[in-house]
Structure formats: structure tokens, C-alpha cells
Amino acid sequence: MIDEIDAGKKLLRAGFIKSKLEKEFIAVQKKSGKSLKDYIDSLDKKEIIKYADQEYAEHDRLVKPIPTGFPSPLVTNKNQTVCVRLHLESFNLSIEELYYWILHHVRQDWSFSNVYKISDVFSAAEQSAFFGTAQQRLGIQQDRAAQYLKYIADMLKALFQVVREARILDERLTFYNDVQNDIKDKKMLLQNQT
């Protein structure tokens, strides 16, 4: 349920004042000598309801209309009410991309230069989407780090085998070198004796 007073204060701060009472509101505010924010905070419940240009919608038949927290819809020159409302429910998508696309679409394609976002019921959506994306990137980085560590471990295993084979070859070479040296020594002794 929308709190009529808080919604009214937000609307007044955003400049949504009933057109018939706008001059009176500004005159009284200037006369009080307070800033706009302080003046709005000092208003009582009746004055907020009197000045705020707030939409009241009927949700059920034969029930008193309740405040929606949105400004009153536009009235065209044919006295027809124009109200554009967008509801989007998606539990696994990021809201920012769609929000900015719609904002651009309404401003550029529909030629509404003034678009007001009065209340945001998805206040945690930006952070949760950012957190989800950050966690996804973190997971990818952790997977890559694990792959690099696996490659390093495999290279170390192969390196130990190479070192072992080099030692075995070195031992065999020492046998051949010892035999060669013995043969050379014997030839030199034979040559010296003759």
C-alpha cells in the first residue's frame, strides 16, 4: 500500500503540484522564507493532499480510489486522459539494459522530452544484477586460474620425468666414458711399453 503522505511529498519535491493551486503554493512557500524542501517537510497531511498532483486509481469496483504514488495522468486537448504505465516481470534478467532502452525509446521515438521516475520498487535490482555479473566474472577467472594451475602441475610432472631420464642417460654416459677412458689408458700403456 502506498503511503499517501510520503508519495505526496515526493511529488511536490519533483514539481508535481496541482495546476490550479500552483501559484498559491509558490506564493505561500516564498512568504514562509523556507527552502522548498523545508517547506514541504513542514506541511501537514491536509496541505500535502491539497497541493500534490497525485493520481488516485480504483482497483476494485465500488471501492474508494486509493493513491498510486504517481502524478496525475496527462489530459489532452480533447479532455481525454493519457496514462502510460509499464509493468515488467522478469526474475532472471538484468533490469538496467531494458530500463535505459525504454527511457531512450520514450524520449526519442515517442517524443516525450520529460520522463519522470517517481518511485523505484527495484532499488536492489541494480546492485543484485551487478553482483550477479561480478560473481559470474569471478567464477570465470577462478576457472581459468584452476586451468593454469593444472597446466603447471602437468608441466612439473613432465619435468620430473625429463630430469629422471636425463639422470639415467647421464649414468649410462658415465659407463661409456669410463670404458672409453680405460681403453685409451690401455692403448697409451701399450704404446709406451713398445
- Over residues 150-183, the pLDDT tens digits come to 999 999 999 999 999 999 999 989 888 888 888 8
Query: How confident is the model at residue 35, as a pLDDT?
Result: 83
One DSSP character per residue, the chain reads: ---HHHHHHHHHHTT-B-GGGHHHHHHHHHHHT--HHHHHHH--HHHHHHHB-EEEE-SSTTS--EEEEEEPPEE-TTS-EE--------SSS-HHHHHHHHHHIIIIIS----------S-TTHHHHHHHHHHHHHHHHHHHHHHHHHHHHHHHHHHHHHHHHHHHHHHHHHHHHHHHHHHHHHHHHHHHHH-
The predicted-structure confidence for 104-153, as pLDDT tens digits, reads as follows 888 888 777 777 766 656 555 556 666 677 788 888 999 999 999 999 99
Query: How confident is the model at residue 37, as a pLDDT?
Result: 81
pTM of the model: 0.40
The predicted-structure confidence for 87-99, as pLDDT tens digits, reads as follows 667 666 667 777 7
Query: How confident is the model at residue 161, as a pLDDT?
Result: 92
Q: State which of 34-38, 47-51, 103-107, 142-146 shows the largest mean pLDDT.
A: 142-146
